[in-house]
Structure 1
Amino acid sequence: MDIERFNADWLQAWTDKDVERLLGFYHPEAYYADPQTAGGITGHEALRSYLTALFGGTPDMEYRPETVWAIENGFCGRWYCHVGGVAALRGFDLVLFEGDRIGHNEVYVHELGAAS
C-alpha cells in the first residue's frame, strides 16, 4: 500500500467533509479517538454520527499532509489544518490497519494560533 497516497486521499476527504467517503477508509468496527471523543468511539455508525455533528459545527477546514512514517501494520502521519482561515492546527495521527482499512485511529492536535 502507498501510505503517502492513502494519507493524502484520506486527508482530502476530511477537507471535503465527506462523511461517507471517510467511512470508506475505516473498517466497519474501527476505533477512533480525538480530543473531542473522551474515551473514543467504535464502529461506522458512531463515527458517522460524530463526523456529521463535527462537520455541521465547524467552518471550512483545509488539511495538508506534512509527512508519514511507516510503522508495523500502519503509519504515523503529521499534518497541518487551517480552520475557517482563522486558526491553524498541527496534528498527528496514529493509524493501524485492519486489512486495507483503518482499524485504529488516534488523533493528537496542537493549536498554532492564527492562520497565516
Structure 2
Amino acid sequence: MASMPDATEFSGRWVAAWNALDVEAVLAHFHDDVVFSSPLAAQLFPETGGVVRGKEALRAYWGEGVKRVPDLHFTVDAVYAGVDAIVINYRNQRGGLVNEVLVFDGDLVRSGHATYLRQDA
C-alpha cells in the first residue's frame, strides 16, 4: 500500500481546488467507491441521510453545492496528520468553522466526514 500524502501539501491542493470551484480536481483525490458524510448532504439530498456513496454521487452533491454557493471560499486554519487520516480545519465563506476528516487508503481518500461547529441560536 502506498503511503498517505503529506498533510500540508495535500491540504494546499485541496483548498486550491475548492477555491477554484473545480469539483473534478477535488474528486481526483478520492477513490471511486468513497463514502462521504455531511450534514449539508442531508440538506441537499435528504434521501441520502447525509451519507454519499461513490464518486459519481459525490460529484452530484458537490456540483450542486457549488451551484448553490457561487461565492464558496475556504481558508485553512490548521492541518492535522494521523496514521491514515488528515483533518483539515478551515473556515468557509461565511466564517463558519469546519473540520474535514479524510481517511486514506494509500494516496486516495477512502472515506470523508465534514463536521461543523455547532452554534446555539
TM-score range normalised by the length of the shorter chain = 0.7 to 0.9
State the number of aligned residues. 108
Q: Determine whether 1:9 maps to 2:13.
A: yes
Structure 2: tracts of 5 or more residues without a match: 42-48
Alignment partners' CA distance in 1, 2:29 and 2:68: 22
- Highest RCO, 1 vs 2 (Cα 8 Å, sep ≥ 6): 2
Residue of 60, 67, 71 corresponding to 2:82: 71
Q: 1:70 to 1:21 in 2, by over 3 A?
A: same
| 2:45 corresponds to 1:41 | no
Superposition RMSD in Å: 1.6
Structure 1 regions of 5+ residues with no counterpart?
none
CA distance, structure 1, for counterparts of residue 59 and residue 86 of structure 2: 23
Q: Following superposition of structure 1 onto structure 2, how do residues 19-58 of structure 1 map, counting pairs within 5 Å?
A: 19-37=23-41, 38-58=49-69
Task: Calculate the TM-score normalised by the size of structure 2.
Answer: 0.81
Q: Partners in 1 of 2:118 and 2:65 — Cα distance?
A: 17
Q: CA deviation at 1:60?
A: 1.0
Matched, 1:106 2:113: yes
Runs of 4+ aligned structure 1 residues displaced above 6 Å come to none
Structure-1-length-normalised TM-score: 0.84
